Structure 1
Amino acid sequence: MTTQAARRRTATASRRRPSRRGGPSRRVVLRRRAVALLSLVTVTGLVVAVWFTPLLGVREVDVAGTVELTADQVRQAAAIESGTPLVRLDVDAVAARVRELPRVAGVRVDRSLPGTVLLTIEERTPVAVINAGDGAHMVDATGRDYATVSQPPAGLPELKVQARGLPAAVAVLVALPEQLRREVLAVSATTPADVKLTLTAGREVRWGSPDDTPRKAAVLDVLMTRDGSVFDVSSPELPTVS
C-alpha cells in the first residue's frame, strides 16, 4: 500500500469517528440541568419553609432580668404570636411594645433557632419618691414617675417639687457624690433655679440650679466643716453658712 493511500484511509476513518473535542453529550447536558433544577427547588423550598411556615416559627418566649414585673406581663406586652417565622419577627416593634410598660427602661430582643425568642429586660431604678394621696410615686434618674406603691423602698429621699422644678431636682440628686447623697432626706424645688436639699441633723443646703454641681459639691464639703445649719452654695464663688 502506498503512503498516499494510507493517508486517505486514515482521513476517512477520522471523519467517521465522533470527535472527542466537541461539547458534552446530550446525556451530560440533561443531567446537569436536572441537578440545577433540583438545587433551585431545594433552595426555594427552604426559603418558603423559613419565611412563610411555622417550621422555624416562634414556639417559646423567654424573659430575663425582671424584678418587679412578671414574665407574663412582659410576654403580654410583647404580643408575639406563636408560630410567627423567626426571620420575619419585627424585633424593633416587639421592643417598642415592651418599652411601653412604665417600669421598663430598656429591652433587648434575641432570636434563637429553632424557635425561641429571649426578652432581656432592664427595669427602672428609683432614685426618689413623691408622696401623694394615692401612694408613693417612684421616680427614676430621668425624672420619670413610673410606678405608685403603698410603701416606698427604704432610704429614698422625698421630692417636694413643682412640675417646673422636678427635672432640676432630680438632676442635682443623681449628680451628688454618693456620701452626700446618703445624707439627703428631701429635695425641694419650685423652679429650676431654687433647688434645696434637706439633710440629716436638721441641716439645709441651698443649691440653686443644677449648673456647676461638681464644684458646688466640692465647696459644700469644705463648708460643712464649719458650724451652721444652712449652707448656701448657689453661688459657689460666694458660699455662706448660717
Structure 2
Amino acid sequence: MADGRLADPLDEELEAGEYAPRLRLSRRGVVVLGALGALVLGGLAWLVFLSSVLDVRSVSVQGVQDDKLTADQVRAAIGTVGDGPLARVDLAGVERRVKAIPRVAGAEVWRGWPHTLQVKIVQRRPVAVVKEEDGRFTQVDAGGVSFATESAAPEGVPVVELRLGQPARDADQVISRSQLVQGAVAVAAGLPDEVRQRAGSMLVHSYDDIQLQLSGGATVRWGSPEQTDRKARVLVALLHQKGTNFDVSAPEAPAVSG
C-alpha cells in the first residue's frame, strides 16, 4: 500500500465481491422456467383429476352391525357417484345417498388415498316396534323415526299396541293416534336396558294410560309419557321388591301389589 499499511484480507474479499459477476436470468429464461412449472402442475392436475391412475378401486364401509344392512347394500346405494378419479368424487353426494338408506341414521365419507372411498355409517337401532293393523311390525328408533316394517318383531324390543278406550277415541282430534304412538316410543326410548329387555309389550289405552307387560307376567302402570326418566329410575328400584303389579304413574308415590 502507498501509505505503508498492510491490506486487510477481509476488506479485499469484500471489495472483490462488489465487482464479481452476478447470475441473472434473462426474460427468456424466466419464461422457460414458468412454462416448465406450468407443465409440471398441469401434468399433476391431469394425473390426479383426469387420468385413471388414481381411480376409486374399492369402497370401504364401516359401522354395519347386522345382516339387515350389508356393506354391499351401501355400495349399491352409492352407485356410479363413487366411480372415477378419487379426487373428483362428490363426497357430499355420496353422503346424501348413504343417508337416504332407511336403516342409516348418519354417515361420514372421506377419501382414503390412493384408491379407496371410505364410508362410516351409524345404523339405526329400534327402541320400540309398533304393531300395525295388518299384523306387521314397524321398527322405530330413539328419534321416533320409522325405518323398517317386517312380519315379526325383533327380540328384546317392546311392542307398542293401541288398545284405545272410547274416551281416547273420542279425543282423537285433540291427541291423534300418531301422537299416542310417539308418546309410547318416547317411553320405550327412556327405559333402562334391563327393563326394555323384559318389556314384551306396551299397551296404550290413552295418553295418560300406558302399561308395560313384563316377561314373567308382571304389569307396570306407567301413566303418561311425562317424567319418563324419573319413572324409569323408580321402576328399577321397585323391581327389586316382590309383586306382580307396579305403579309408577305418580313417581312421587309409587306402589307395588300382587
Q: What secondary structure is seen at the aligned counterpart in 1 of 2:53?
A: helix
Conservation of the 8 A alpha-carbon contact between 1:143 and 1:166: no
| Cα distance in structure 2, aligned partners of 1:235 and 1:127 | 24
Matched, 1:236 2:251: yes
Conservation of the 8 A alpha-carbon contact between 1:62 and 1:117: yes
Give the alignment's Cα RMSD to 1 decimal. 3.1
Q: Which residue of 2 aligns with 1:126?
A: 126
Q: Which residue of 1 aligns with 2:148?
A: 147
State the 1:135 CA deviation. 3.0
TM-score for both structures, normalised by structure 1: 0.75
Matches within 5 A, 1:134-173: 135-161=136-162, 162-173=177-188
Alpha-carbon displacement from aligned partner over 1:46-65 (angstroms, at most 9, x marks no partner): 12332344332323323333
Q: Which residue of 1 aligns with 2:37?
A: 39
| Cα distance in structure 2, aligned partners of 1:82 and 1:181 | 40
| Cα distance in structure 2, aligned partners of 1:226 and 1:125 | 31
| Cα distance in structure 1, aligned partners of 2:129 and 2:145 | 11
Q: Which residue of 2 aligns with 1:9?
A: none
State the 1:42 CA deviation. 0.7
| Cα distance in structure 2, aligned partners of 1:182 and 1:105 | 22
Structure 1 range deviating more: 210-219 or 165-174: 210-219
2:49 to 48, 51, 55: 51
Q: What secondary structure is seen at the aligned counterpart in 2 of 1:110?
A: strand
Matched, 1:108 2:108: yes
Percent of aligned pairs sharing the same letter = 38
Aligned residues: 224
Conservation of the 8 A alpha-carbon contact between 1:129 and 1:136: yes
Conservation of the 8 A alpha-carbon contact between 1:50 and 1:87: yes
State the 1:92 CA deviation. 1.6
Alpha-carbon displacement from aligned partner over 1:128-181 (angstroms, at most 9, x marks no partner): 323343633222222222122333332322111442122221222222223222
| Cα distance in structure 2, aligned partners of 1:107 and 1:23 | 60
Flag the 1:238–1:45 CA change in 2: closer, same or farther, 3 A. same
| Cα distance in structure 1, aligned partners of 2:178 and 2:185 | 12
Structure 1 unaligned spans of 5+: 1-18
Q: Which residue of 2 aligns with 1:206?
A: 221
| Cα distance in structure 2, aligned partners of 1:134 and 1:160 | 11
1:179 to 170, 190, 194: 194
Amino acid at match of 1:57: D
Larger Rg: 1
| Cα distance in structure 2, aligned partners of 1:58 and 1:227 | 62
Conservation of the 8 A alpha-carbon contact between 1:165 and 1:195: no
Conservation of the 8 A alpha-carbon contact between 2:158 and 2:188: no
State the 1:225 CA deviation. 5.9
Flag the 1:165–1:23 CA change in 2: closer, same or farther, 3 A. same
Matches within 5 A, 1:21-40: 24=23, 30-40=28-38
TM-score for both structures, normalised by structure 2: 0.71
| Cα distance in structure 2, aligned partners of 1:82 and 1:240 | 59
| Cα distance in structure 1, aligned partners of 2:98 and 2:233 | 41
| Cα distance in structure 2, aligned partners of 1:91 and 1:220 | 46
Conservation of the 8 A alpha-carbon contact between 1:165 and 1:190: no
Structure 1 range deviating more: 192-201 or 33-42: 192-201
